[in-house]
Amino acid sequence: MILYLDTSSLVKLYLDEVSSDTVRAWCEDADLVATTVIAYPEAMATLARRWRQGDLSREALDELASRLGEEWSTLLTLAVDEGAAGELPLRHALRGLDAIHVAAALTLLRDATPGVEVQFSSFDRRQCDAARAEGLVLLEPPGESA
């Protein structure tokens, strides 16, 4: 199984949030974990925001940012298909970066070896609705429905 993580799921690997343990378990079960190139700056921005809000110490921010940087190369990072991403907001009222994640996962699904399942993880309801409508299989924590 290939697991696609949008940024809301990716940061759960680094921050202790609701469903962080679930996302970590999904990653352990996946044969490959993928995301798009925009997830790195988005995740770093999330870490920086959490530091500015006082949720993280400077030491914790530096440690998490370093870990993300070191682990980034273990992820399959997908380029942006701006044409495909540009069509999605017209169909699903998505924000631009959310559309990029859905488009990347759809490209991954299209290019996957037959028989290899691609599953999508996000904690954004509108993005999940669009992904589902476009034919992606969603992973959702038990008891939650995005």
What is the block-wise mean pLDDT of the chain (146 residues), using blocks of 10 residues? 97 95 96 97 97 97 97 95 94 95 96 92 95 94 62
Domains and CATH numbers, the chain: 2-138 (3.40.50.1010)
Tokens, residue 127: 């993005």
Nearest to residue 102, comparing CAs of 133, 59, 141? Answer: 133
**Closest among 53, 71, 52 to 5, alpha carbons compared:** 71
At 141 the pLDDT is: 77
Quick one: pLDDT at residue 140?
84
What pLDDT is recorded for position 145? 53
> pTM of the predicted model, to two decimals?
0.93
The torsion of the CA quartet 83, 85, 89, 93, rounded to 10 degrees, works out to: 170
Q: In the prediction, which pLDDT does 11 show?
A: 97
Residue 4 in tokens = 């696609």
